[in-house]
């Protein structure tokens, strides 16, 4: 039995207090995460949240500034080689060789894992067939589409039959067909007891695939549980409504005031990415008629209203006060203004 006790029998990955900075940019702020064995675990967050940094630390490619990393009962900071042999990793961006064919690349990878000659042939044949790569595997990688490259990465990560598979945004930019092939394979691997950690900034992907999940925001875990638990914890229904355009900030505040004074309105967000829509969380039967009445009275009649059970986006909204899409826009905006500032300094 290892030094980490019973927890490491239950958890495949245990991260405690991870801190990581890149120069003046702090990427992780004391991140804690436990990923149970046999689970398909989703790491959801906007670009820049710290998903890749976390995954690179788990896969021993990046050292944290502080904190502990235990993978499959092994201290990954002390025994990185053992950990590396136990996991398969599919990186977010891979610079694959353009001259080699896909098959040659898989052969190279099998040699890196020290597979025997017979095992090597068996596994490569199996992966080519399983990921439907037969018709193009002997072409040079330089000619592959994004979907083909991703499938090849996945095959390479699975050659040595790892107990843990870690994938960083595996379906970004993939066509639907390739995406379905990846999802199907992940489900099959899970049914065989393999633990899978999958990062994504697609809500739908995590919602469809994950048994458990964490939402990452600015280097911290802000919510953790099964997707259903996270949604149930929110309580209440999600309401989106449109009113006429606000002519100024004062009118926006006025609408807020009206909503604030209605019993059962639990959360109010003015959604910038979708024009003049308001996102509310409401609880109770009487709220909707009251909303209509009070907003009409205040000269903001409702043009459109939709009501739904909470989604993962609402979970994110509740935790951060922003939709996932607005978070991405804000991060892209910060990046653009930094670039502008740099240009200005020249
Ligand atoms: N090698 C690096 N050098 C400088 N900053 C980095 C580096 N890697 C990541 N960062 C920064 O750390 C933060 C988290 O990035 P990352 O872990 O890639 O997030 P995600 O994968 O969720 O998009 C971002 O602000 C990013 O710009
Ligand atoms: Mg990333």
Which pLDDT value is given to residue 1? 42
Which pLDDT value is given to residue 216? 93
Ligand 1 pocket check for 47: Cβ under 6 Å: yes
Residue (of 149, 14, 163) closest to 88 by Cα position: 163
DSSP secondary structure letters along 140-188 = BGGG--HHHHHHHHHHHHHTT--SEEEEESTTTT--HHHHHHHHHHHHH
Ligand 1 pocket check for 45: Cβ under 6 Å: yes
Q: Whose CA is nearest to atom 2 of ligand 1?
A: 22
Domains 7-225 and 234-329 share a fold: no
Which pLDDT value is given to residue 65? 98
Chain-centre distance of CA 50, in angstroms? 10
Which pLDDT value is given to residue 97? 76
Q: Whose CA is nearest to atom 6 of ligand 1?
A: 22
What ranges do the domains of the chain cover?
7-225, 234-329
Q: pLDDT tens track of the chain, all 346 residues? A: 445 566 667 899 999 999 999 999 999 999 999 999 999 999 998 888 999 999 999 999 999 999 999 999 999 999 999 999 899 999 887 766 788 999 999 999 999 889 999 999 999 999 999 999 999 999 999 999 888 888 999 999 999 999 999 999 988 878 888 888 889 999 999 999 999 999 998 888 898 899 999 999 999 999 999 998 888 777 778 888 888 877 777 888 888 899 999 998 988 887 655 557 888 888 877 888 999 999 999 998 888 888 887 788 878 887 777 888 888 777 677 766 666 666 655 5
Ligand 1 center–CA 11 separation, angstroms: 26
Which pLDDT value is given to residue 242? 87
Q: Which CATH architecture has domain 234-329?
A: 2-Layer Sandwich (3.30)
Which pLDDT value is given to residue 324? 80
- Unique residue bearing structure tokens 């790491």: 43
CATH number, domain 7-225: 3.40.50.300
pLDDT tens digits along 296-311: 999 988 888 888 877 8
Q: Are 139 and 102 in contact (CB under 8 A)?
A: yes
Q: Pick from 21, 46, 53, 218 the residue to mutate for probing ligand 1's pocket: most ligand atoms within 8 Å of its CB.
A: 53
């Amino acid at each position: 039995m290892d030094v980490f006790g019973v927890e490491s029998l239950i958890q495949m990955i245990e991260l405690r207090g991870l801190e990581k900075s890149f120069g003046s940019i702090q990427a992780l702020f004391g991140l804690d995460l436990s990923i149970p064995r046999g689970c398909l675990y989703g790491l959801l967050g906007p670009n820049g949240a710290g998903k890749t940094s976390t995954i690179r630390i788990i896969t021993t490619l990046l050292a944290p500034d502080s904190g502990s990393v235990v993978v499959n009962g092994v201290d990954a900071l002390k025994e990185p080689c053992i950990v590396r042999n136990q996991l398969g990793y599919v990186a977010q961006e891979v610079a694959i060789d353009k001259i080699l064919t896909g098959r040659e690349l898989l052969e190279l990878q099998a040699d890196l894992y020290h597979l025997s000659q017979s095992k090597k042939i068996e596994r490569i044949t199996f992966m080519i067939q399983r990921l439907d790569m037969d018709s193009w595997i002997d072409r040079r990688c330089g000619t592959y589409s994004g979907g083909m490259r991703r499938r090849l990465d996945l095959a390479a990560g699975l050659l040595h039959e790892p107990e843990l598979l870690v994938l960083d945004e595996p379906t970004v930019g993939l066509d639907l067909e390739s995406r379905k092939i990846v999802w199907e394979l992940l489900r099959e691997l899970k049914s065989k007891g393999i633990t899978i950690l999958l990062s994504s900034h697609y809500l739908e992907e995590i919602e469809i695939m994950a048994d458990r999940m964490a939402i990452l925001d600015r280097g911290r875990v802000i919510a953790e549980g099964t997707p259903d638990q996270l949604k149930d914890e929110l309580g209440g229904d999600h309401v989106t409504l449109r009113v006429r355009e606000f002519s100024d900030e004062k009118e926006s505040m006025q609408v807020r005031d009206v909503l604030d004074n209605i019993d059962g309105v639990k959360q109010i967000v003015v959604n910038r990415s979708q024009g003049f829509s308001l996102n509310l969380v409401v609880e109770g039967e009487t709220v909707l008629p009251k909303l209509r009445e009070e907003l009409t009275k205040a000269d903001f009649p409702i043009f459109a209203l939709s009501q739904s059970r909470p989604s993962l986006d609402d979970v994110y909204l509740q935790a951060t006060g922003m939709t996932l899409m607005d978070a991405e826009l804000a991060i892209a905006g910060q990046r653009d203004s930094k670039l502008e500032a740099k240009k200005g300094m020249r």
